[in-house]
Structure 1
Amino acid sequence: MAPPYLVLGKAVKAWGLKGELKVQPYADSITITAGSSTVSLKGTGGDLVEYAVERVRQAGQAWILQLRGVQTIEQAERLVGCELVILRSAAPSLPEGTYYQADLIGLLVVTEEGRELGRIVEILETGANDVYVVHGEGVEWLLPATKEVVKKIDLARAIMLVHLLEGMIEAEAV
């Protein structure tokens, strides 16, 4: 069962002098946050604090977020490191076969032969397709997020089944 909250990103630094936050997004689109009137910030202790969203804009790959009640750089700096979350029920439904990045992070990657490669720790957005960064025991693999490679995603079991193309992973690394 999916957690009740969807993690959209992480506050990485204060932005400017008026309390804005720079957020590194995990979600594919800024419109998820822009369309929401409130978001919650989750601290390291797991506590959630809800904020009204005053403004969201894009700055390169990041988002700049203005929250009601956060008006100074000092207030914003206290929120750095917090995860930005919304209720999963407030998130837009996705088309069949598409997933929120936050739901893919942590999945166990298993080959069709049953070999466990490791877990997805990051998703790189490239021009052609996303790339999953998979950490195994002392090794890292980069797997393209294509239908040719990704055969099945089972969120209930937290597993991604993959077909490795010839030369994708060196024999000695596996």
Structure 2
Amino acid sequence: MAEQSQETVIGRITSVFGVKGWVKVYSYTAPMEGILEYRNWHVRQGGKRIRLEVSEGKRHGPGIVVRLKGVDDRDVARSYCGLDITVPTEDLPELPAGEYYWRQLEGLRVETPGGACLGVVKNLMETGANDVIVVRPTADSMDNRERLIPYLPDQVILRIDLDAGVMVADWDPEF
């Protein structure tokens, strides 16, 4: 399956931290501190792509705080709040066989073992016990229902074929 984007969102700048230009960051990486391994970030502001360089960052309480290079003022830092942080997709580490980034699963056609189409993966959610796939119906789906399917490889999720754009789920279509 072709990549949907050349960049991947890895977090979001949420608010300012202190008066010296630091910002709070919500990280989408696991572990949370993994976002600090990417030193060159990009954000979109006013339709323009801006490169931000991380000078330093650390875990602070339940989150991450970061000082951006050249940002020493709270008001300048505030201008970045609410922006998604992206990195080039090729900067992401290679995963072991059988593991996938969520972005790779979004858009896959979901079928039953018998070949019935349940829809496509809209997104995934963390629930604590296990991740859940949100499957949205399409024109060729067997019905018009949105489904929440547990992401349990080898139990519910039997096969993922990124090249074919298909995920096979052992899931009762009536559920």
The equivalent of 1:69 in structure 2 is 70
CA shift, 1:142, in A, is: 4.3
The equivalent of 1:35 in structure 2 is 37
Provide the identity percentage: 22
Aligned residue for 1:48, secondary structure, equals strand
C-alpha distance in 2 between matches for 1:22 and 1:107: 33
Change in 2 beyond 3 A, CA 1:89/1:118: closer
Contact 1:39 1:51 in 2 (8 A): yes
Unaligned runs of 5+ in 1: none
1:1-174 matched pairs, under 5 angstroms? 1-2=2-3, 3-11=5-13, 13-17=14-18, 18-30=20-32, 32-43=34-45, 45=47, 47-58=48-59, 62-112=63-113, 113-124=115-126, 126=128, 128-136=129-137, 139-164=146-171, 171=174
Aligned residue for 1:152, secondary structure, equals strand
Contact 1:27 1:100 in 2 (8 A): no
TM-score, normalising length: structure 2: 0.71
CA shift, 1:53, in A, is: 1.0
Contact 1:154 1:160 in 2 (8 A): yes
CA shift, 1:138, in A, is: 6.3
Cα RMSD of the aligned pairs, angstroms, is 3.0
Amino acid at match of 2:67: Q
Contact 2:134 2:146 in 1 (8 A): no
Contact 1:19 1:70 in 2 (8 A): yes
Contact 1:135 1:141 in 2 (8 A): no
Change in 2 beyond 3 A, CA 1:163/1:30: same
The equivalent of 2:141 in structure 1 is none
Contact 2:122 2:134 in 1 (8 A): yes
TM-score, normalising length: structure 1: 0.72
Aligned residue for 2:110, secondary structure, equals strand
Amino acid at match of 2:22: E
Amino acid at match of 2:121: R
